[in-house]
Amino acid sequence: MEQYKIIKEIGRGSYGVVYAALNKLTGEVVAVKKLNMKYPSVEECANLIEVKECSLFQLMRVKTFSEDEIKNLCFQIFQGLAYMHGNGYFHRDMKPDNLLLSKNVIKIADLGQARETDGEPPYTDYVTTRWYRAPEVFLRSSVYDAAVDMWAMGAIMAELFIHRPLFIGDSGGEVLYKICRVIGSPTESKWSEGLQLARNMNYRFPDHPGMPLASLLPSASSEALCLIATLLSWNPCMRPTAMEALEHPFFDSCHHVTPAIHLNQDLPWKRALLKQTRSSKSCAQLV
């Protein structure tokens, strides 16, 4: 560590702290993770998954992704989430730092914040790194579910296209302001429950009409924009499940879903909503 100078803390998880650090020899800025647990040998440290694999966050710093690459990565992530959610758990801390890559295979890591979907509320409101945190969590909802992972995936997908977080903010209020600027402020018809949550904590949403996602993500296809827009819905019930996301037209060219998580043909009403995105009219409405 003598060759590195710590710049600042950039992340904190259940098993360690991540710092931005400067390599004094090369001038390169890197991410350094200090683990809470002590290891008796270098060999044990070298066998840690996080040492053998790089995070999506690290890769985005040095690589520009094509849409086909984004599609492949996200398809794998949604498969992982479908398996996790289908077995009764949700992650609660989805972000690029917690997605590890090795040889074109991406894995969901750091399950320190995960909990059962049928767990007893109230749930803590301090989950998910702020830039990927769902609105209902910001508004201190005591009950939320796997839809928070889907919101985070919308933010992550957008970031893969533009190589910077979509909702950067130093506070919850600032992030909510950015969300309103992008997708438009919530209304009673869009999310009455959210407006009530806001009233309960004396928070008033800024008045913004939103902007076309295509202007923010100019390299994204209409199918990608449609999926991202649906994932970034104010109302958690309007976000697709991971299973439904895998059936979105954006993934039509991907390989079939593995047998372990085959889709239930009797999907809920949101499946019909997603099918509408095949038409250019519905895409225009979303993006």
CATH number assigned to the domain comprising residue 78 = 1.10.510.10
Task: Report the CATH number at residue 40.
Answer: 3.30.200.20
pTM to 2 decimal places? 0.74
pLDDT of 125 reads 52
- The pair of three-digit structure tokens given for residue 244, joined into one six-digit string: 């439904």
φ, ψ of residue 274 to 5 degrees: the values are -65, -35
d(CA 136, CA 153): 15
Are 209 and 237 members of one domain? Answer: yes
pLDDT of 19 reads 83
How many domains in the chain?
Answer: 2
Are 11 and 72 members of one domain? Answer: no
Are 134 and 271 members of one domain? Answer: yes
Are 20 and 154 members of one domain? Answer: no
Task: Specify if 44 maps to a domain.
Answer: yes
Are 77 and 48 members of one domain? Answer: no
φ, ψ of residue 115 to 5 degrees: the values are -150, 170
pLDDT of 61 reads 81
Task: Specify if 60 maps to a domain.
Answer: no
pLDDT of 257 reads 47
Are 36 and 90 members of one domain? Answer: no
Mean pLDDT, consecutive 10-residue segments, the chain of 287 residues? 82 72 80 74 58 79 90 96 95 94 89 82 61 95 92 98 95 96 96 97 96 97 98 97 96 67 42 40 45
Are 213 and 153 members of one domain? Answer: yes
Where in the sequence is the domain holding 71, given as residue range(s)?
67-286
Are 14 and 136 members of one domain? Answer: no
Residues 6+ away with beta carbon under 8 Å from 135? 151, 176, 179, 186, 191, 194, 234
In whole angstroms, how far apart are CA 219 and each of 6, 64, 134, 204, 278?
Answer: 35, 12, 25, 34, 19
Catalytic residues: 93
Task: Specify if 59 maps to a domain.
Answer: no
Are 10 and 117 members of one domain? Answer: no
pLDDT of 13 reads 64
pLDDT of 259 reads 42
